[in-house]
Chain A
Amino acid sequence: RKEVEQDPGPFNVPEGATVAFNCTYSNSASQSFFWYRQDCRKEPKLLMSVYSSGNEDGRFTAQLNRASQYISLLIRDSKLSDSATYLCVVLGASNTGKLIFGQGTTLQVKP
């Protein structure tokens, strides 16, 4: 079983739609969680950190459920520019800053 699992999609949605991505992680000792965005043939970039209380950044909302070891990302009012791969990321428990990535979920927003 992979340490971080995501549905690879693709998710094809119209502009303006709300879309949600989910992710599960296997190591209950994990402490820090993130969503990264990766455009086609580009490097990953941090989108947002994920906190237990949930956090919001504009149209993006991230949630963490430690009991279920489940992380989510909600995108409201999708834009064409949101088309990308969204990577669920967990900080490894070894305290070296090692990041453990999910496979990524591909989002295609269509006009």
Chain B
Amino acid sequence: GAGVSQTPSNKVTEKGKYVELRCDPISGHTALYWYRQSLGQGPEFLIYFQGTGAADDSGLPNDRFFAVRPEGSVSTLKIQRTERGDSAVYLCASSGQVSSYNEQFFGPGTRLTVL
């Protein structure tokens, strides 16, 4: 079956611009996660959705970052006034449920470069 997909695969933007990154989770998965991975580091948690609601957004670095999941499936991560330090690979993951641990399946990521 289809895995997690993310678009675009690469995004180059200029400092100060707005970007949107999209995630299509595995069909039927209710839990969706965004992580950010900088070069040479492990992924870092940003936000978790259970259904349509953001159940944990404690990882968002500041108010320039925002994410939505209006229909409980596709999610969009939005970054305003991008900065060079935002350059990283943004990974999305989904899992079937979260009450007990279920494996998170990761998408291929969006590589964001802010010039």
Residues of chain A touching chain B, judged by Cβ–Cβ distance below 8 Å, are 4, 8, 32, 42-46, 87, 89, 91-92, 94-104
Query: Is the Cβ of A44 less than 8 Å from the Cβ of B48?
Result: no
Shortest beta-carbon distance from A97 to chain B in Å: 4
Query: Is the Cβ of A43 less than 8 Å from the Cβ of B108?
Result: yes
Query: Is the Cβ of A46 less than 8 Å from the Cβ of B103?
Result: yes
Q: Is B51 an interface residue (CB 8 A)?
A: no
Could you list 14 A-B pairs, sorted by A, with CB under 8 Å?
A43-B109, A44-B106, A46-B104, A92-B45, A94-B56, A94-B58, A96-B50, A96-B55, A97-B48, A98-B45, A98-B48, A98-B56, A99-B43, A104-B42
Query: Is the Cβ of A96 less than 8 Å from the Cβ of B106?
Result: no
Q: From B55, B104, B108, give the contact of A42 (CB < 8 A).
A: B108
Query: Is the Cβ of B40 less than 8 Å from the Cβ of A100?
Result: no
Query: Is the Cβ of B40 less than 8 Å from the Cβ of A103?
Result: yes
Secondary structure at the A interface, as helix, strand, loop or mixed, is: loop
Q: Is B31 an interface residue (CB 8 A)?
A: yes
Q: Is B41 an interface residue (CB 8 A)?
A: yes
Extra 13 A-B pairs, beta carbons < 8 Å, given A96-B48, A97-B48, A103-B40: A4-B42, A44-B91, A89-B42, A92-B45, A94-B58, A95-B98, A97-B31, A97-B95, A97-B102, A98-B48, A100-B45, A101-B44, A103-B42
Q: Which residues of A contact B107 (CB under 8 A)?
A: 43
Residues 27-55 of chain B, each 1 if its beta carbon lies under 8 Å from chain A, else 0: 00001010100001111110010100001
Q: Which residues of B contact A95 (CB under 8 A)?
A: 98
